[in-house]
Amino acid sequence: MRKIRIDADVESIAGEFQLELDKHKAKILQAIDDLMGKFDGKHTLTKRGAAMDAVDVKKCYDYIDKLKKDYDNGTLTLMKPNDFDKTHQVYNGYLKDKELKWSVSIDGDKATPLHKRLTGAMGYQEIVRDEIYPPLMRKMGIKVCVYCNANYTVSAEKGSGRGYFELDHWKPESKYPFLCTSFYNLQPCCPHCNKRKSASNKFEFLKLYEEDQNAPLDVLGFQIPKGSMVRYFNNLDTSHIKVTFKATDASLEKLRNDAEQKFGIEGIYNEHIDVIEEMMWRAKFYDNVIVGSMTWFYGKRNPVVDVARFKLGTYAGEDEIHKRPLTKMMQDVGKQLGII
């Protein structure tokens, strides 16, 4: 899997996100203020069926007050990933992670986890996920899950069947609700990975946006055993083809192992052996003569035709892996087979 460098183009799209969100700022601030008002000591608040004590009520009030001020001054929306944990420590001084899970009833309404009330007030689902983010995701060319690269990010809403783009919070909203509408904390993903991803601190998951201008972007990938193509063509037996999910560097082994444990990456990809089989046939068929002829023929008529994409069967650019499922595997194996 591959990260996206935070460069001028990405920052421009993040700026568009900020402008769109600012159109709803007054409404969101009012919703946050309304929620904060519920903890002013004048409302009936229960936790686990018992009345909340004054100390806990004050802690909730102060947390929301801090959130409102940070949201109002623009601190949160474009916060970079390197500042997430430092900011989390500050918010933890108001409410601990476990306290954000308190299921609170306000004036007899349905008991709801506090972090859910916060993300609701901040308009995550209706404003950000459903309205603002989809066109920006299309503009960035992200249609595929950033964690598995095997599935599209479109999901169907339970009941209505309405389609929507699935988003994950890289830092979980149950612990970092103040980041629920922060651009760099939102990561397009598939329903499978979103449900399987854990909020536990013991797991490490791909951070999509990379601030370090010198850090490698290609962090997880795929390979097949050497000689697979020769052995396959000896008897056309696909049992010789096996996909291995790998880290691109030894320092990334935990990232790889955690992704494998939670998402079952190798199991998913070894159900797509037929894709690699087709790639092997293309590698045989599209020799240099045919590719040269295609390049001449199509290039004269349409210079933008990507012959490498035609030969590979998907997008060939490293920065295009989020455009179509399985592209990362096909690119990695395509390099092994000499297709690209």
Q: Same domain for 199 and 232?
A: no
Q: Same domain for 210 and 224?
A: no
Q: Same domain for 66 and 95?
A: yes
Using an 8 Å Cβ cutoff, are 263 and 230 in contact? no
Count of the separate structural domains present in the chain: 2
Q: Same domain for 53 and 100?
A: yes
* Residue 309, H or E segment: helix 307-312
Please report the pLDDT score of residue 201 as a whole number: 81
Last residue of a domain, one of 200, 215, 230: 215
Last residue of a domain, one of 153, 183, 215: 215
Q: Same domain for 242 and 294?
A: yes
Q: Same domain for 142 and 12?
A: yes
How many residues appear in the chain?
340
pTM: 0.89
Q: Same domain for 167 and 24?
A: yes
Domain range for 148: 1-215
Distance CA 284, CA 122 (A): 55
Q: Same domain for 306 and 180?
A: no
Distance CA 35, CA 117 (A): 8
Tokens 């009330």 found at: 117
Per-residue pLDDT of the chain in tens (340 residues, 90 and over written 9): 999 999 999 999 999 999 999 999 999 999 999 999 999 989 999 998 899 999 999 999 999 999 999 999 999 999 999 999 999 999 999 999 999 999 999 999 999 999 999 999 999 999 999 999 989 998 999 999 999 999 999 876 666 666 678 899 999 999 999 999 999 999 999 999 999 997 788 899 999 999 999 999 999 999 998 888 888 888 898 888 999 999 999 999 999 999 999 999 999 999 999 999 999 988 888 766 566 666 666 665 555 457 788 888 999 999 999 999 999 999 999 999 988 8
Using an 8 Å Cβ cutoff, are 328 and 221 in contact? yes
Q: Same domain for 36 and 140?
A: yes
Q: Which residues contact 128 (CB under 8 A, 6 or more apart)?
A: 21, 167, 180, 181, 186
Torsion of CA 186, 157, 325, 273, to 10 degrees: 130
Last residue of a domain, one of 189, 215, 241: 215
Q: Same domain for 154 and 275?
A: no
